[in-house]
Structure 1
Amino acid sequence: MSTPPIPASDAVPSAPGDGGADADSAAGESVRTVVVAVAANLAIAVAKAVAAVITGSASLWAETAHSFADTGNEVLLFIGLRRSDREADARHPFGYGQERWFWAFLAAMGIFVVGGVLAIQEGIKSLLHPEALESVWVGVAVLLVSAVLEGISWRQAHKQLKAEAARNDRTLARQLKRGSDPTAATVFLEDSAALIGLALALAALGLHAWTGSAVWDAVSSILIGLLLVAVAWRLATRNKALLIDESAPPNVLENVREGITSDPWVADAPEVTAVFVGPRLLLVSARVVATREAADAPAERLTEAVAGLTARLEARPGIARADIVVVPASNPASAPDPSTAP
């Protein structure tokens, strides 16, 4: 008589917020966010450059550098989106999702150098060699129009970020901090910095015109530069964390653990790890303890049970690969950590 197969369960959930349809929708939304941002920032950059030449305003020159930097950075984000969509192959078995983080990291460096450093340099130059302000109303008009265009781009990025946060049951701030797709976060932070920078530039133009002192303009330019440096640092550190295999959040790990232990033959899963190998894509590794019945079954039956659980995990959206290892209950890796004992 043949030995019956070890019972299995189909209740293996995917990582929260990483559903296939949601992932496809998020990818399309990312493209829209970047396209809107590129169109808005290119128009803004040209308008600011013309206004900066006419007025001679240091803060307008800083904003010009900022907008050209944003445009270039969003082109980098678009390249990352396209390259990361390629299918997995023999050289990259988990796909090209990490390309998105690489290009977003380059975008952060662009904000730092082209936006932040040049703005600070322009502010220092204006402090040392102040120039008279001309055609103030041209600068004011351009900044107001820029604020409207930036607002359109900001709204699109905010909409996508809010939707991603809702899918993951997170606050907007938490999504900015822990989201695995950098696209919306990068555009959102860039546009938020741009709107603050526009407010600073408008205030500087008004104070320069009112007092006749170029110090206001210069200080505004330096503040805009420092703001961009802070944004660049925030984005660079987030993408660096993802590039060096950041772990999935605790709620995702718990979700995966529950899916594994729902199989009747699994007594416990003492060790479950998952790292991001792309936006909304995880590599899962788990050590599991089999029930006494499963452990006493023929080896081929246990092997089939492990293969079945692995296949069910990998069939779920959001999981690129799952590695399941069966360990005895007495295995040190499955024993409690003595340092955590009461």
Structure 2
Amino acid sequence: MSGHANSLKAVLLALGANFAIFVAKLAAALITGSGAMLAEAVHSLADCGNQGLLLLGMRQAKRPPSDDYPLGWGRALYFWSFLVAILLFSVGGVFSIYEGVHKLTHPEPLSWPWLAVGVLIFGLLAEGISMRGCLQEVRKEQGDRNLWQWFRESRSSELLVIFGEDSAALLGLLLALLAVLATMLTGNLLFDALGTIAIGVLLVVVAVLVAVEVKGLLIGHGVEPKQREAMLGFLRERPEIECVYNLLTLHMGPDVMVAIKARMRAAASGRAQVDDINAVERDFRARFEAVRWCFFEPDVDD
């Protein structure tokens, strides 16, 4: 329903890309002795940690319900996604801005610039593969919406994070490449410092956007608007239901909880009405597979 099952592939692709970039940057740092390249290697390793946190969240979300957690652990995924957004903001964005300001006040000549260019181009290729896989999963739930509409309406927190991370990484690598090339061509170290600051600002903006969306899921988001309309349409077409008073939905990670309040059509007996309600719930779950909990309240008034 929301594409949670499709997100694992995108997370693993991002993890593989970030680890490959980390190895390339670490090798370049060891060869050149560049502290800046070593810092970039640590940055890529931190990105790998972000994917690890998402995988942990996806695993925790599968824990079964218990007396202490009657609706399961699905929303644990939102906590870890929010934590990744915070790390992207602090470790990625703020650190890059600090590094750029430091370069402005204490400029250092580029060491082995062509090696840096090679690493950046390799990073662009690796992140491009990751982004391609992410977009394949996004399209499965995007429908006729543009990417911004999908980003605002999606309930797949882990896919939101990967999309944001990959977008920021691609644009950041491109900015870094342009900054390094401009510095090589002009000899002006200002381009390198400004490029680093621009990357930091980009990461901060993406982190804030992702955090805002995941915050809504942490607080308690219902299903996507089109999905809710489909649910209402299904209920209104049922011959057992005379009027739908209210429909409440809540995402619990990959699963959905639904509460329905409706006036039932007259039945021959109380037992017959119970059978009608059970039939509606059974068919509702069959139609909307992500619905794990369905609470039905028959009533005569709203």
State TM-score, norm by structure 1.
0.80
Give the percent of matched residue pairs that are identical in Structure 1 and Structure 2: 33
Query: What aligned pairs does 1:1-342 form with structure 2 within 5 A after superposition?
Result: 17=1, 27=5, 29-51=6-28, 54=32, 56=34, 63-64=40-41, 66-166=43-143, 170-279=145-254, 281-291=255-265, 293-294=266-267, 297-315=268-286, 316-328=288-300, 331=301, 333=302
C-alpha distance in 1, partners of 2:269/2:13?
60
- Give the aligned partner of residue 6 of structure 1: none
Instruction: Indicate if the aligned counterparts of 2:263 and 2:298 stay in contact, CA closer than 8 A.
Output: yes
Q: What one-letter code is carried by the residue in structure 2 that aligns with 1:320?
A: R
Deviation string, structure 1 residues 13-40 (Cα, Å, up to 9, x no partner): xxxx36xxxx6xx52x422222222122
Q: What one-letter code is carried by the residue in structure 2 that aligns with 1:301?
A: A
Please identify, of 44-53 and 140-149, the stretch whose mean Cα deviation from structure 2 is larger.
Answer: 44-53
Q: 1:268 to 1:62 in 2, by over 3 A?
A: farther
Largest Rg, 1 or 2:
1
Shift in Å at residue 224 of structure 1? 0.5
C-alpha distance in 2, partners of 1:289/1:50?
68
Instruction: Indicate if the aligned counterparts of 2:14 and 2:162 stay in contact, CA closer than 8 A.
Output: yes
Shift in Å at residue 61 of structure 1? 6.4
Please identify, of 41-50 and 233-242, the stretch whose mean Cα deviation from structure 2 is larger.
Answer: 41-50
Deviation string, structure 1 residues 288-341 (Cα, Å, up to 9, x no partner): 1233x33xx44343334334323443455111112222222xx3x3xxxxxxxx
Unmatched 5+ residue regions in structure 2? Answer: none
Instruction: Indicate if the aligned counterparts of 1:52 and 1:139 stay in contact, CA closer than 8 A.
Output: no
Deviation string, structure 1 residues 271-301 (Cα, Å, up to 9, x no partner): 112121122x22111221233x33xx44343
Aligned-partner SS, 1:185: helix
Paired residue total:
300
C-alpha distance in 2, partners of 1:81/1:225?
28
Instruction: Indicate if the aligned counterparts of 1:94 and 1:320 stay in contact, CA closer than 8 A.
Output: no
Unmatched 5+ residue regions in structure 1? Answer: 1-16, 334-342
Please identify, of 29-38 and 127-136, the stretch whose mean Cα deviation from structure 2 is larger.
Answer: 29-38
Aligned-partner SS, 1:31: helix
C-alpha distance in 2, partners of 1:236/1:185?
10
Please identify, of 115-124 and 243-252, the stretch whose mean Cα deviation from structure 2 is larger.
Answer: 243-252
Shift in Å at residue 261 of structure 1? 2.5
Please identify, of 63-72 and 150-159, the stretch whose mean Cα deviation from structure 2 is larger.
Answer: 63-72
Instruction: Indicate if the aligned counterparts of 1:42 and 1:68 stay in contact, CA closer than 8 A.
Output: yes
C-alpha distance in 1, partners of 2:71/2:282?
16
State TM-score, norm by structure 2.
0.89
C-alpha distance in 2, partners of 1:57/1:215?
18
RMSD of aligned C-alpha atoms? Answer: 2.3
